[in-house]
Amino acid sequence: MMNTVLGIDIGTQSSKVLVYDFENHRIAAEAQSSHRLIHRDDGTREQEAQWWLDALKACLEQIPPKLKSTVQAIGVSGQQHGFGALDQQGEVLCPVMLWCDTSTVDECEEITLRFGGEKALLKGPGNPILPGYTASKILWLKNHHPDLYEKMAHILLPHDYINFWLSGKYTMERGDASGTGLLDIRNGIWHRAILKALDPDRDFSKLLPPLIESQRSAGRLLEEPARELGLTPGIPVASGGGDNMMGAIGTGTVSPGVITVSLGTSGTLYGFSDSPVIDPAGDLAAFCSSSGGWLPLLCTMNCTVATELNRNLFGLSVKELDMEALKAPPGAEGVITLPFFNGERVPNLPRGKGSIMGLNSDNMSQANLLRSAMESGIYGLKTGVDRFPH
| Cα–Cα dist 189/177, whole Å | 9
Task: Considering the candidates 160, 243, 279, 283, report the single residue annotated as catalytic.
Answer: 243
Q: Do the beta carbons of residue 78 and residue 158 sit within 8 Å?
A: yes
By DSSP bridging, strand 154-156 and strand 26-34 are unpaired
Nearest Cα to Cα of residue 299 among 265, 337, 256: 265
Q: Mapping DSSP to helix (H, G, I), strand (E, B) and coil, where does residue 306 land? A: helix
| Contacts of 40 by beta carbon, 8 Å cutoff, 6+ apart | 103
| Cα–Cα dist 228/53, whole Å | 10
Q: Is 243 a catalytic residue?
A: yes
**Sign of the four-CA dihedral 334, 369, 351, 183:** negative
Q: At 266, which amino acid appears?
A: S
Q: Mapping DSSP to helix (H, G, I), strand (E, B) and coil, where does residue 41 land? A: coil
> What Cα–Cα distance (Å) separates residue 112 from each residue in 140, 181, 348, 351?
14, 11, 14, 18
Tally the C-alpha atoms within 13 A of residue 23's C-alpha that lie toward its C-beta. Answer: 7
| Cα–Cα dist 143/45, whole Å | 18
| Contacts of 177 by beta carbon, 8 Å cutoff, 6+ apart | 157, 183, 211, 288
Q: Do the beta carbons of residue 83 and residue 155 sit within 8 Å?
A: yes
Would you please indicate which residues are annotated as catalytic (active-site) residues?
243
